Amino acid sequence: MWFFIFTKTRAMAKKIAIIGGGNLGTAIAEGLLKSKFSKPLEITITKRNVATLKSFEQRHVKVTDNNSEAVKQSEVIILAIKPFQVNDVLNGIKKELGNNKMLISVVTGVTLNDIKGIIGEKTSLFRAMPNTAIAIQQSMTCICSDKVSSAETKYVHDLFNHLGRVVTIDEKLMEAATILAACGTAYAMRYIRANIQGGIEIGFDAATASIIAAQTVKGATELLLQNGSHPEQEIDKVTTPKGCTIAGLNEMEHQGFSSSLIKGIITSYKKIAKD
């Protein structure tokens, strides 16, 4: 028991450098702080224009424009810059990376091999694909890795489990994960928006329709996540024979509802695979 507490505390005390304090980098930092996975002084955030990180500085998070210094003082490096910045930034910090460090890249489209090609083989490498709900600790984060230890895997899973849910995937599915998990947020928003528009047409004001639509979708997803059920099982519970739900659902399908969603996902995937 004491051993467990000791190892858990040690695992959580690693110093983390977030290289690239933009939308995603700061959302990760917020999540680490809110979830108490890290203490403020255990996090360093970098970017060139640090003025935008004032609110973190005020909370005693270390803020700097010096990537090398941040990496030197940290055991875990989260790379959250744009793909075209990766080459320059990694070349700038590679001297500070080594055996005892972990690098977690959240950069879209940059492979583990691309990263190894710049920094070599010494540092343990992970790729993570979160979504914007990471800001409220509700991300779906898909993770892959290369030659990492089980302790390192556990640590990275712990970290992202504090920011939502985690699944491990093969790297070849990383683009598919971007579509289903990251673009998926946008698809879900359009579905909810359509519900709001329909809700207004049948009598609700926009604000009430928004709450009803969002909470109903939240409840529906919780049914799946908590019951482990298939959507169709939950649909069967709502569809009375000859009732209004099945009439509406069938009309949606006649109009190509499922087909249009699947085609949209495949179109997004073809686009990401091509670019």
Q: Which CA distances in Å does 245 have to 144, 209, 262?
A: 40, 18, 22
* Closest to ligand NAP by CB, 25 or 199: 25
**129 makes contact with ligand NAP (CB under 6 A):** yes
Residues 145-164 binding ligand NAP (CB under 6 A) are none
**132 makes contact with ligand NAP (CB under 6 A):** yes
29 touches 61 (CB < 8 A): yes
Q: Which of 18, 37, 47, 199 binds ligand NAP (CB under 6 A)?
A: 47
**142 makes contact with ligand NAP (CB under 6 A):** no
Piece of 103-111, 119-127, 201-209, 247-255 that binds ligand NAP (CB under 6 A): 103-111
* Closest to ligand NAP by CB, 52 or 197: 52
* Closest to ligand NAP by CB, 7 or 23: 23
**120 makes contact with ligand NAP (CB under 6 A):** no
* Closest to ligand NAP by CB, 91 or 250: 91
**60 makes contact with ligand NAP (CB under 6 A):** no
**130 makes contact with ligand NAP (CB under 6 A):** yes
44 touches 57 (CB < 8 A): no
**81 makes contact with ligand NAP (CB under 6 A):** yes
Provide the minimum distance between the beta carbon of 253 and ligand NAP in the complex, in angstroms, as a whole number. Answer: 31
249 touches 235 (CB < 8 A): yes
135 touches 30 (CB < 8 A): yes
Provide the minimum distance between the beta carbon of 143 and ligand NAP in the complex, in angstroms, as a whole number. Answer: 12
Q: What is the C-alpha separation between 147 and 99, in angstroms, rounded?
A: 12
Q: Which of 18, 144, 182, 209 binds ligand NAP (CB under 6 A)?
A: 182
**19 makes contact with ligand NAP (CB under 6 A):** yes
Q: Return the SS3 of 187.
A: helix
126 touches 156 (CB < 8 A): yes
Q: What is the C-alpha separation between 189 and 62, in angstroms, rounded?
A: 35
E strand or H helix that includes residue 145? strand 139-146
Provide the minimum distance between the beta carbon of 92 and ligand NAP in the complex, in angstroms, as a whole number. Answer: 7
Q: What is the C-alpha separation between 127 and 145, in angstroms, rounded?
A: 6
Q: Which CA distances in Å does 130 have to 95, 163, 208, 231?
A: 28, 9, 30, 23
Binding-site ranges for ligand NAP (CB under 6 A) = 19-25, 46-49, 67, 80-83, 85, 89, 106-108, 129-132, 182
